[in-house]
Amino acid sequence: MTNLSLDFKKMVELLLKQKPEIKAEQIRELIDEKKSKVGAGYLTDQGALFLVAADLGISFESVPKLRSEIKDLYIGAKEVNIIARVMNIYPIRKFIKKDTNEEIINRTLTIYDKETGIKVKLWDNNQVNIPDELGLQPGDLIKISRCNVKSGFDNRPVINLGSNGNIELVDSDDHSIPNIDSMTITVDDVKESQDNMIIIGNINSNPRISEFNNIRGELSKSLQMQISNQTGTRSLRVIIWNVDDKKIPKVFNIGATVRLIGVRIKPGNLQYGNGDLEIHGDEGTVLQFPGLQTEVEVMPLRVISIGNETGKGNISCLAVNKSSKFLSVVIDSMLMNNEITSDTMIECVPSRIFGNSITLSKEDSYIRIIDNDPSFPTLSNFESKIRDIQALENPYVIEAIVLHAPNMTEVNTRGGLIPMTDTLLGDDTGEIRLVGWRDQSSSINKLNVGDRIKVIGATGNNGRDGKIELTLKPYSSIIKIS
């Protein structure tokens, strides 16, 4: 391939030939001016020279079309040929043009070479299916031909591939473009804000899926978790936005190794984390789990608490396995029956296992009541005294007396006003505040001074006054003792 620096020299010679009144020194000054004022760090000398030539009314059509590198691309470039590796493949997106009511479909790829990455937009009906037809995977080497470069929403260059463009797999490997393995960094390597990163780490918190409204006003889901380094001395918050939960493994255990392909590193938010950098992905991010994955197996459990309905057709429960491990179990209401109560033994095949959280859905789960297994721990094995409660995630079981009439208030949060009820409990070792938010608020409202109760599945945390308090969870329950 012709050396790019030689191409640049030819371009300068062509410009001087067409504009003999301009000196080479002036061209250098014009290039530097474009790079400082327009390029914002994205322009090479060659890219800036194209813009300078355009200002002077000069065309480089006579310069042969050569293979470009991503760093050389500039907004307005046409008939570009580029070889790069695939990082992300986004799902096909459909939308309606407001002015014509025409349905438009597009798809995005992220590609990278030895120095940087760029997004590729596929607009034609035939083009959006190319990734599937070629079976493209992260790390594949591809050649993109006859594409144009336009401005993206962030004013960065974006490759547009229309009906005349083409994508093809490249058989011969190009060792100048690093593969996925050599691009992968660890949690300890995360130092600053960056885009198009590949990070590997160990899951060290319960992954959870939450619903939110995306920028298009559509109901979407996010996956949140923490990943750490090998020693567990550094942990980073991970949020994958617009995630397709059908593509997430059914078994997602704490301690598993995960590689996140195509994420960006952002400054952390102290409100939600420890202030360290955060890892953000989206629907194009690929989650890989090196090594064999655990298959979902039949699980015997003892249900120790049945909480409230979630409002989405599910009931939150708390269970323990034979090893006395607490598990948050969300059961589809269609699978529940009146025979499942606190202390019931069940056998189930979960739809999903996220760390200590289990989901049982009517579509692909199995559940049945089994005979009591005396080798399983019972509720009494987990009872604690108030003096033993600490600010830990593990649920507590305590027996106590209500010392104060419940107090209900409405608290103004980012999500609006929500109810919160608290009361004071006591046993022979001390007193503690019990708090219930939202649906759990009503459970405390039903209590009276002097009631002897058993609180199952509340967690300890630091209260506003610095004292330890108990907070009810969706799976928590309160039983009055006669």
At position 283, the amino acid (one-letter code) is E
Q: Rounded to an integer, what distance in angstroms lies between the CA atom of residue 477 and that of residue 271?
A: 29
Instruction: Please determine, for residue 62, whether its predicted confidence score (pLDDT) is greater than 60.
Output: no
Q: Of 153-157, 315-319, 359-363, which gets the smallest average pLDDT?
A: 153-157
Instruction: Categorize the per-residue pLDDT at 102 as very low, low, confident or very high, splitting at 50, 70 and 90.
Output: confident
Q: Rounded to an integer, what distance in angstroms lies between the CA atom of residue 188 and that of residue 191?
A: 8
pTM to 2 decimal places: 0.71
pLDDT score for 2: 33
Give 37's DSSP letter. Answer: I
**218 vs 320, which has greater pLDDT?**
320
Mean pLDDT of 426-441: 92
Cα angle 269-273-278, degrees, rounded to a multiple of 5: 65
24-33, 213-222, 355-364, 400-409: range with highest mean pLDDT:
400-409
pLDDT score for 326: 93
**174 vs 458, which has greater pLDDT?**
458
| Beta pairing partners, 118 | 111
Which positions ≥6 away from 12 have C-beta within 8 Å?
24, 27, 49
What is the per-residue pLDDT across 140-150, written as a single tens digit (0 to 9) for each?
999 998 888 88
Domain map (residue ranges) of the chain: 4-64, 80-169, 187-288, 299-369, 382-480
Is the Cβ–Cβ distance between 77 and 63 less than 8 Å? no
What is the per-residue pLDDT across 112-140, written as a single tens digit (0 to 9) for each?
998 889 999 998 778 899 999 999 999 99
Q: Rounded to an integer, what distance in angstroms lies between the CA atom of residue 330 and that of residue 323?
A: 20
Instruction: Categorize the per-residue pLDDT at 31 as very low, low, confident or very high, splitting at 50, 70 and 90.
Output: confident
pLDDT score for 18: 80
Q: Is the dihedral of CA 61, 63, 68, 71 positive or negative?
A: negative
- 243 C-beta neighbours (distance < 10 Å), count: 21
Half-sphere exposure of 363 (CA within 13 A, CB side): 4
- 235 C-beta neighbours (distance < 10 Å), count: 18
Q: Rounded to an integer, what distance in angstroms lies between the CA atom of residue 54 and that of residue 466?
A: 66
Name which CATH class applies to 187-288.
mainly beta
Q: 382-480 has which CATH code?
A: 2.40.50.140
Give the chain's length: 482
CATH architecture under which domain 80-169 falls: Beta Barrel (2.40)
Q: Rounded to an integer, what distance in angstroms lies between the CA atom of residue 434 and that of residue 453?
A: 12
pLDDT score for 174: 61
**175 vs 252, which has greater pLDDT?**
252
Q: Of 206-215, 229-238, 365-374, 401-410, which gets the smallest average pLDDT?
A: 206-215
Q: Rounded to an integer, what distance in angstroms lies between the CA atom of residue 8 and that of residue 49?
A: 8
DSSP string, 183-205: HEEEGGG--S-EEEEEEEEEE-S
Mean pLDDT of 421-425: 95
Name which CATH class applies to 299-369.
mainly beta
pLDDT score for 196: 92
Is the Cβ–Cβ distance between 259 and 198 less than 8 Å? yes
pLDDT score for 4: 39
pLDDT score for 474: 92
Give 98's DSSP letter. Answer: T
- 343 C-beta neighbours (distance < 10 Å), count: 13
**Within this chain, domains 187-288 and 299-369 share the same CATH topology:** yes
Instruction: Categorize the per-residue pLDDT at 41 as very low, low, confident or very high, splitting at 50, 70 and 90.
Output: low
pLDDT score for 14: 77
Any idea which residue has 């400082």 for tokens? 36
What is the per-residue pLDDT across 17-28, written as a single tens digit (0 to 9) for each?
788 888 888 888
3-class SS of residue 147: strand
- CA dihedral angle for residue 321, residue 324, residue 330, residue 334, rounded to 10 degrees: 40
